[in-house]
A and B are shown apart, each in its own frame.
Chain A
Amino acid sequence: MGLKILTEHINVPGINTLETYRKMGGYRSVEKALKTMTPDEVVEEVKKSGLRGRGGAGFPTGMKWSFLAKPEGKPRYLVCNADESEPGTFKDRVLMEKIPHALIEGMITSSYALGARTSYIYIRGELMFVLRILEKAIAECYAAGLLGENILGSGYSLDLHVHPGGGAYICGEETALLESLEGKRGNPRNKPPFPAVWGLYGCPTVVNNVESIASVPWIVNNTGEEYAKIGVGRSTGTKLISASGHINNPGVYEIELGLPVEEFLFSDEYCGGIWKGRKFKAIVAGGSSVPILPGELFLKTAEGTPRVMTYESLSEGGFVSGTMLGSGGFIVMDDTTCIVRNTWNFSRFYHHESCGQCSPCREGTGWMEKILHRIEHGHGHMHDIDLLVNVSKQIEGNTICPLGDAAAWPVASAVRHFRHEFEWHVKHPEKATAPGAVYSGAEDLAFA
């Protein structure tokens, strides 16, 4: 078993209560930080730890914190992004549901480091029951003097609020989240200015993922150097992976970064291999937004080196033969999965969730979905496949926020790696539209 930082006590009965959580060593970081460290020292520790944002982009958290502008007379905010809506990602939900105090402890320590007096947890609207759990935990903290005025007699005061979203995927984008938190329509803002300068209510704001914030207490307790020792290279620490799809043991796993992917997928400690003894066909490694990879390219890079679970290793080969660790949403597909249908399904999601603010994403996501719908249902043409790639290129990089990229990558990568399946759908529509039909690789795809 690898080292567990976030989920060590997840199975302790009553860990969702303050009493048990403190018994297990909780809130030590709050005492340590507030009583013995200056805010800058906490930031310095997080910087040293090399902790990278766990929401998907992998931006170093310490660096993000140090970019926070500190103008006189303006409040600063810490906002926790708990709007976890990426298909295939469900790690934050488990963490908040089981150990709500891990997040709250991280919020207090991080808010202290950033000098925030009011902090928010913006939670996905569908997770109302988690919101109740968090609110209960926050009430416990207020009663115990861990939140509110003069925390633990240190002179530092913090108010923590939980705010539910309305169920829009786009509000997981940090600036759309801030707009939504301000009570406006959740449209992403143009950047620059970045939230570190102009964030919530026009004040400097840091937006961090649940898992990033929950990692901070361990870093404060055990120093950043210790954290940096876990993992490989620039991918330090542990990461929660939500594994789903055609595997024997789906669930949320905490892994040390640097774990070989083969071990993660096939050992019984983790995913336990592909179910029903089937073949490993493809995988989406970091939530639906990242490029899909065929099984063999995922286990080994194009050069033949075995991949390990780090940001760098998974993205080796760029978009040609690599993918991204993203938010750690593993969707494993066996050889009965139709990639075209899967791509259409993803595309439908992005079509539904595009905010409609900027034109390439608003029109392009719908267009891609319609083309994929046609191909999947046997009305496609050969030129549609190239058109798909072309439309995805017209969206990628030309939009305000990364949702456009997220919509374009799965489509472009599916065509790149599984083009023969698309061609099969076009050439043999009657076979492809039969229930449960999957391209077996045996068909002749040559055109007369």
Chain B
Amino acid sequence: MAKITFDGIEVEVPDGTSILNAARKIGGNVVPPAMCYYTPLKGSGGKCRACLVKVTAGSAKDPRPMPKLVASCVTPVQDGMVVENTLSPQVMEARKGVVEMLLINHPLDCPVCDQAGECDLQNFSYAHGTSGTRFEEERRTFERKDIGPLIQLHMNRCILCYRCVYTADQITDKRVHGVLGRGDAAEIGTYIENAIDNDFSGNVIDVCPVGALTDKTFRFKNRVWFTKPVDAHRDCPKCAGKVVLWMRGSDVLRVTGRKNEYGELVDFICNECRFEKKEVADWTIDGPRHIPRASVISANHYELPVINPQVIADLPESTTKELQIIPRPF
């Protein structure tokens, strides 16, 4: 076991745990954002540089600080390590820089993007980005590529996290897509036009942190915050069959895997569950899906903050009017 101090909070984790996972054990606001790291995928991480942290003491044995900021998702903890995340202005500055870099060539077509509302890049840039841009040049664009009838690839939106490549490597039988080219011309593709068709290929949609890979059967059907997510399951011979149904009225618009609070899939699901079972009758509904309050999907699902009634009574009438504090029958 190793004991580390993360943002002034002590936490004990098994040896070999990454700094990011140690921070996730603490939870809350101190957890660094992660755009490319994905716990279920071996070898992922270290690419987006969103999770950079400052190590002010390497270990109890060797308390020298690390010279550079390190990617917390791939750096293992050492006993006695002291890490700064939100406490370090240098880290915050670097993260601002990473957001800027990720956004300069991102099309920012959120209004027509199916991922909007559940996009990691959106959340990341709201949390750490600035509203303006210093990029005056033309954005980089790619040729459109068709990768089959189920998955829509928008290469312009891709941030090259490599998650879909690892998923195809580790979850499906045979990987037919990968990263071609290098530098800012690097793109996800199949090289020779080829459909990504595999029982588990649909999982690349769920692991994609942005709208680069989206569900063709859900394309332009609805905004995700208008849909109602419910947990459901079925007996699937191929996968765990535990999914989230995104419903509008009694229509199942989309089926996805269940994700934890860090956006990571709990179980990978098969393409049959994802693309073919679009009737309520196919599923046993377990109950409403919990969506974090901060998510745009939760908009209008929660009431105004509860204010102590005693305080309201003492406020002048003009204030209460302005606040529009209306008692609700709950």
Whether A associates with B in a native complex is yes
A360-376 vs B, CB cutoff 8 Å, 1 = contact: the mask equals 10111111001100100
Within 8 Å of chain A (Cβ to Cβ): is B89? Answer: no
**A interface footprint on B68-110 (CB within 8 Å = 1, 0 otherwise):** 1101001110000000000000000010011011101100000
When the two chains form their complex, are residues B182 and A367 in contact, meaning their CB atoms are under 8 A apart? no
Give the distance to chain A from B225, nearest Cβ to Cβ, in Å. 27
Q: Counting CB contacts under 8 A, is A387 at the interface?
A: yes
**Does A394 lie at the interface of the complex (its beta carbon under 8 Å from any beta carbon of B)?**
yes
Mostly, the A contact residues are helix
Asked if A359 and B185 sit within 8 Å, CB to CB, the answer is no
Q: Is B52 an interface residue (CB 8 A)?
A: yes
Rounded to whole angstroms, the CA-CA distance of A372 and B97 in the bound complex is: 19
Other-chain contact of A352, B75, B137, B183 (Cβ < 8 Å): B183
A399 to chain B, nearest CB (A): 7
Tell me the chain A residues, 369-390 only, with Cβ under 8 Å from chain B.
Answer: 370-371, 374, 387
Choose from A170, A370, A371, A399 the contact partner of B49 (Cβ within 8 Å). Answer: A399
Compute how far the CA of A400 lies from the CA of B94 in the bound complex, rounded to whole angstroms. Answer: 14
By the criterion CB–CB under 8 Å, are A365 and B97 in contact? Answer: no
Q: Which of A190, A354, A359, A363 has the most CB of B within 10 A?
A: A359
CB within 8 Å for A353 and B98 given contacts A358-B48, A363-B104: no
By a CB distance below 8 angstroms, the chain A residues around B159 are 359
Across the interface, do B94 and A362 meet the contact criterion of CB distance under 8 Å?
no
Q: How far is the CA of A371 from the CA of B136 in the complex (A)?
A: 9
Are B181 and A356 in touch, CB under 8 angstroms? Answer: yes
A360–B47 touching, CB < 8 Å: no
User: CB distance B184 to A360 under 8 Å?
Assistant: no
A-B pair count, CB < 8 Å, reads: 94
Question: In the docked arrangement, what's the CA distance between A137 and B192, Å?
Answer: 40
Chain A proximity of B152: nearest CB distance (Å)? 22
Residue A93 CB within 8 A of the other chain: no
Is B32 in the interface zone, CB < 8 Å from A? no
Nearest-Cβ distance from residue B182 to partner chain A, whole angstroms: 5
Q: Which among B140, B178, B184, B186 has the highest number of chain A CB atoms within 10 Å?
A: B184
A181-200 residues with Cβ-Cβ distance < 8 A to B are 185, 190, 192
In the complex, per-residue mask of B177-212: 1 if CB is within 8 Å of any chain A CB, else 0: 011011111100000000000000000000000000
The answer to whether the Cβ of A150 comes within 8 Å of any Cβ in the partner chain is no
Query: Within 8 Å CB of B104, what residues of A?
Result: 363, 367
Q: Quick check: B160 and A360 within 8 Å, CB to CB?
A: no
A355 within 8 A of B: yes
- Distance in angstroms between the alpha carbons of A371 and B135 in the assembled complex: 9
In the bound assembly, the distance between CA atoms of A229 and B45 in angstroms comes to 46
- Judged by DSSP, the binding face of B is loop
Task: Determine whether the beta carbon of A358 is less than 8 Å from that of B137.
Answer: no
Closest residue to B50 on the A side, CB-wise? A359
A319 to chain B, nearest CB (A): 14
How far does the alpha carbon of A399 sit from the alpha carbon of B94 in the complex, in Å?
A: 11
User: Assuming A387-B134, A397-B68, is B181 touching A359 (CB within 8 A)?
Assistant: no
A345 lies within 8 A of chain B by Cβ: no
**Contact residues in B for A367 (Cβ distance below 8 Å):** 101, 104, 135, 137
A398 at the interface (CB under 8 A from B): yes
Nearest CB in chain A: distance from B186 CB, A: 3
A357 at the interface (CB under 8 A from B): yes
Q: Is the CB of B45 within 8 A of A190?
A: yes
State in angstroms the CA–CA spacing of A367 and B100 once bound together.
Answer: 11
Distance in angstroms between the alpha carbons of A308 and B153 in the assembled complex = 56
Beyond A359-B101, A360-B97, A363-B105, is A400–B182 a contact (Cβ under 8 Å)? Answer: no
Instruction: Compute how far the CA of A359 lies from the CA of B45 in the bound complex, rounded to whole angstroms.
Output: 12
A91 within 8 A of B: no
Asked if A168 is an interface residue, CB under 8 A from chain B, the answer is: yes
In the complex the two chains form, what is the Cα distance from A360 to B137 in whole Å? Answer: 17
Q: Pick the most buried of A190, A352, A355: most chain B CB atoms within 10 A of its CB.
A: A190
Among A190, A351, A397, contact of B183 (Cβ-Cβ < 8 Å): A351
In this complex, what residue of A is CB-closest to B106?
A: A363
For B46, what are the chain A residues with a Cβ–Cβ distance below 8 Å? 190, 358, 400
- The answer for the CA separation of A351 and B137 in the assembled complex, in Å, is 15
**In-complex Cβ contact of B101 among A190, A353, A360 (8 A):** A360
- The 28 sampled A-B contact pairs (Cβ below 8 Å) are A170-B182, A190-B71, A190-B74, A192-B76, A351-B184, A356-B160, A356-B179, A356-B183, A356-B184, A357-B47, A359-B47, A359-B48, A359-B102, A360-B101, A362-B101, A362-B186, A363-B102, A363-B104, A363-B184, A365-B184, A366-B183, A367-B101, A374-B136, A394-B98, A397-B69, A398-B52, A398-B97, A400-B71
| Other 17 A-B pairs with CB < 8 A, given A366-B183, A399-B49, A400-B47 | A185-B179, A353-B182, A355-B183, A356-B179, A356-B185, A356-B186, A357-B160, A359-B102, A359-B159, A362-B184, A363-B101, A363-B104, A364-B101, A366-B184, A367-B104, A398-B49, A398-B52
What are the nearest 8 A-B pairs in CB distance? A394-B97, A356-B186, A190-B46, A363-B101, A354-B183, A190-B74, A366-B184, A370-B137
